[in-house]
């Protein structure tokens, strides 16, 4: 008496094919999940103690990034503004607005506002704001058009792949020093003029892409 029926081979092949399909599907799902907004928080507004509007302050009033993020040019961190920065204006305007009560409480109690970080990198990734802005990378390259954001959200996925795309070819992301903090900057429309500008900026900032892809640049 045969231990296996003639159909056993068919069932075995189907089982193997099913296992392979499950493994491949799992890999695709994991790959997609890792790059989805559920993981990167890209495009998702973060709840803050005060609904600060960059669209109003930057886009409407024209406040420079450095007024609030004072350490962005000389430190690894852009920095959160102290309450005193907010109160420079709000001791005089919107002094009774209920939406600003947390700001007044912070000022009166001498306790900092606990802003929630919007752009977050893993602990094993080293990132320095100052080197980027001093090498020609404008704020909107990473943070998007903040002047159009009523509530702040992560513009970029901040994945390793995304960072490496820039490190391999930084030219298109560079701009003249006087336009680093401009939210209205646009590169030249003419293709040849744009290419010439990129070459010139690479030389001016002394950027060498070959060294930018070394592991030690971001993992120290």
Q: Give the C-alpha separation, 30 to 10, whole Å.
A: 30
pLDDT per residue rounded down to tens, the chain (220 residues):
556 677 777 888 888 888 998 998 888 887 777 777 777 889 999 999 999 999 999 999 999 999 999 999 999 999 899 999 999 999 999 999 999 999 999 999 999 999 999 998 989 999 999 999 999 999 999 999 999 999 999 999 999 999 999 999 999 999 999 999 999 999 999 999 999 999 999 999 999 998 899 999 999 8
Show me where the domains of the chain are located: 9-38, 53-80+115-218
């Amino acid at each position: 008496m045969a231990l296996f029926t003639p159909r056993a081979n068919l069932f075995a092949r189907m089982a193997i094919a099913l296992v392979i399909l499950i493994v491949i599907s799992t890999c695709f799902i994991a790959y997609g999940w890792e790059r989805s907004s559920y993981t990167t928080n890209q495009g998702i507004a973060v709840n803050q103690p005060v609904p600060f509007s960059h669209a109003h302050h930057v886009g409407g009033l024209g406040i420079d990034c450095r007024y609030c993020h004072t350490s962005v040019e000389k430190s690894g961190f852009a920095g959160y503004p102290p309450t005193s920065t907010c109160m420079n204006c709000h001791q005089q305007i919107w002094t009774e607005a209920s939406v600003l009560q947390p700001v007044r409480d912070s000022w009166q109690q001498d306790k900092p506002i606990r802003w929630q970080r919007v752009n977050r990198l893993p602990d094993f990734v080293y990132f320095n704001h100052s080197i980027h802005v001093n090498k020609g990378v404008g704020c909107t390259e990473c943070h998007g058009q903040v002047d159009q954001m009523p509530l702040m959200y992560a513009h970029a996925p901040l994945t390793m792949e995304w960072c490496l795309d820039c490190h391999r070819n930084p030219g298109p992301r560079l701009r003249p020093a006087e336009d680093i903090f401009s939210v209205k900057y646009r590169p030249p429309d003419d293709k040849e003029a744009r290419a010439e500008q990129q070459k010139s900026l690479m030389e001016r900032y002394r950027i060498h892409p070959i060294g930018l892809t070394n592991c030690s640049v971001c993992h120290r």
